[in-house]
Structure 1
Amino acid sequence: MKTIKYQIKTFFFLLFAFSSLAACSSDDDTIIDDNDNDGDLVEGLASAEITVDNETIQFSSKSEDNFAGVMKTKMGEEEIDQLVIVMVDKDSEVAIISQALPAPNSPIDYDLSKVGFGNDYFFTTDVVLDDSKVYSMGSYQQGDEIALQSEGLFQITSVSKDNIKGTFKMTLYNSYDPNNEDAKELTITEGKFDLPIKEIDEGDLGDLDLD
């Protein structure tokens, strides 16, 4: 049940990413409702080198479309904080969405070679390309266990109420079973982010509750 719930939540954020990429035709479009911030839009920095199908994509963006948020979610009967990181590069038409729960309150390394559905934390990352192809962490059901064959490291090096910084590198797949012979691999290297933690319009991402 837990796995299904998280996959549904991930799908929700992917729909959000699709809509943000579709807005590339207008420079005035934003995905932040910043009315509560007195019009002071804070830009987030994000960059990475993405390789897929023998093609290298330079992901680089300085925009208010790059941000992090903390929202309440349930793990069983317990309500906890979930971290959501959204990075969008309109030039390359790529979106990167990472989620972690519980939301960290100090620097932490998420090792993608370990199963992220364990007792300590849940972590996932999805990359959405311009043609709506989605690359994820290659997790799939194997009996009663969740198998994970992605590799990489997502490092949160600094986190506060207003800002989060980190680096990342990882291997993702367009199939939940990377043993599928038709599955394609996507690699990310040199990933960096420096993002504001913002209030987000509840119509897009739901209620936030920042401490």
Structure 2
Amino acid sequence: MEPSTARVFRIITILAFAPTVAFVLPHGIGTHMLCPALGILPMAISACVGLVHVLGKAKFRAVSIAMDIFCACFLIGVLIPSWVFIASGGSWWYGVNAGLVMVGTYGTVPMMVNFMIHTWFVLCELHWRGLFPKKTCPHCNGALGRSSGRAQQGYQHVGREETNASGDGKEASSSVRFMDEEQGGPSKSMDGRPSTDDEAARLL
């Protein structure tokens, strides 16, 4: 991930703290529900982690990835019961109106944003560690282990020529030349080439 992109994501985790408090705190006071009001705690930790990265104080990579994992797990642990309580429509707590349900729903949005950001940082770190290697060619950046359709047709053509007992030498040589061109090497054929002595004699 580019440093500028990572910085923008960290700033988002900081800014998301204010709307979370503005929505989930009134919801918790009005409904006496623990969730999603409990989300203020992981959002505060997430904002602190983002602030440390923005200020350039994050010196240890292992600590950073551990904090991202912790924030992501804490947030999803609050979001799941929050969705369950909000989806119940306040049936477990009498007197909860639709307005408070809507406020609680809005409060979970910045929590979901921070959860996705921390999860993204964790996945990027795992990719950097080589746990998700890419099988690509270092020269052309193409996927390894996959052959093009034309090359596959060439292989099938060679197989047919080898199994065909009635084929002559010209057909076999054409298939060999086709395979050499697919592999990027110089074309080789079974037809004999003139020797260097003959070429020298012709020039003289």
**Band of TM-score, shorter chain:** under 0.3
Higher helix proportion (structure 1 or 2)? 2
Instruction: Compare CA radii of gyration and give the structure with the larger one.
Output: 2
* TM-score between both structures, scaled by the size of structure 1: 0.25
Higher strand proportion (structure 1 or 2)? 1
* TM-score between both structures, scaled by the size of structure 2: 0.26
